[in-house]
Amino acid sequence: MRPNLDSLTEEIQQYLAAEQFIVFRSLSRAADGQAFVYWDTGRHPDYKAFLDCAQQLGLRLMHFHAREFSQAHREEALDQLEDADLPREEKRTLARRIEELAIYEGFTCAVELSFDYEGRIYLFEIQTEWYEEWHDILDEIEAAMPDDFSPGLGGAGGSYYSNN
């Protein structure tokens, strides 16, 4: 898989324009907490097939979101890590893994396309492998948070990416 999705993002935007979709540049809809119908990007990673499905349904409005990885995301994760109930060595290992991801700052890590049809949201999302690793790190930190700790880490559903 690609280390970033910048060129794919540009390609998708050109295709949307060429196919005369109306593009709504949205925040991540995956963070909405609603029930989604997910496109199987594992077996069918071509976004054109997803967009063709929308066209066959007579839809022209497409929600588009490209997520960029930033230093602020790493800094927030490191702050959360300080509060985690983990042994010092595990904290060091996680902090090192977080810092290693600094090489991806400014890169597109996920692209999301979605449309609404008959009360459901249909979602196409593709992510880089390193972004999936990022979610694994966040899950480890979140699992180690004290029970009385309320802010969520959550990646797509939490504070990290809901404002991008």
> pLDDT digit string (tens) for 38-68?
999 999 999 999 999 999 999 999 999 999 9
- 1 and 45 in a single domain? The answer is yes
| Residues 6+ away with beta carbon under 8 Å from 141 | 77, 80, 81, 84, 94, 153
- 17 and 50 in a single domain? The answer is yes
Residues 2 and 119: their CA atoms lie apart, in Å, by 33
| Confidence (pLDDT) at 34 | 76
* Domain tally, the chain: 2
Angle at 65 between CA 110 and CA 158, to 5 degrees: 70
| Confidence (pLDDT) at 39 | 97
Residues 150 and 140: their CA atoms lie apart, in Å, by 16
Cβ pair 20, 55 in contact under 8 A: no
- 36 and 5 in a single domain? The answer is yes
- 82 and 49 in a single domain? The answer is no
- 78 and 20 in a single domain? The answer is no
- 26 and 100 in a single domain? The answer is no
Cβ pair 63, 114 in contact under 8 A: yes
End-to-end CA distance of the chain: 23
Q: pLDDT tens-digit profile of 65-90?
A: 999 999 999 999 999 999 999 999 99
Residues 160 and 147: their CA atoms lie apart, in Å, by 20
- 47 and 98 in a single domain? The answer is no
- 27 and 92 in a single domain? The answer is no
75 is in which domain, residue-wise? 71-104+128-164
- 114 and 34 in a single domain? The answer is yes
Instruction: Determine how β-strand 36-38 pairs with β-strand 108-117.
Output: unpaired
| Confidence (pLDDT) at 121 | 94
- 122 and 47 in a single domain? The answer is yes
Using CB atoms within 10 A of its CB, is residue 108 exposed (0-12), middle (13-18) or buried (19+)? buried
Confidence of residue 31 (pLDDT cuts 50, 70, 90): confident
Confidence of residue 2 (pLDDT cuts 50, 70, 90): low
Overall pTM surpassing 0.85 (yes/no):
no
- 75 and 20 in a single domain? The answer is no
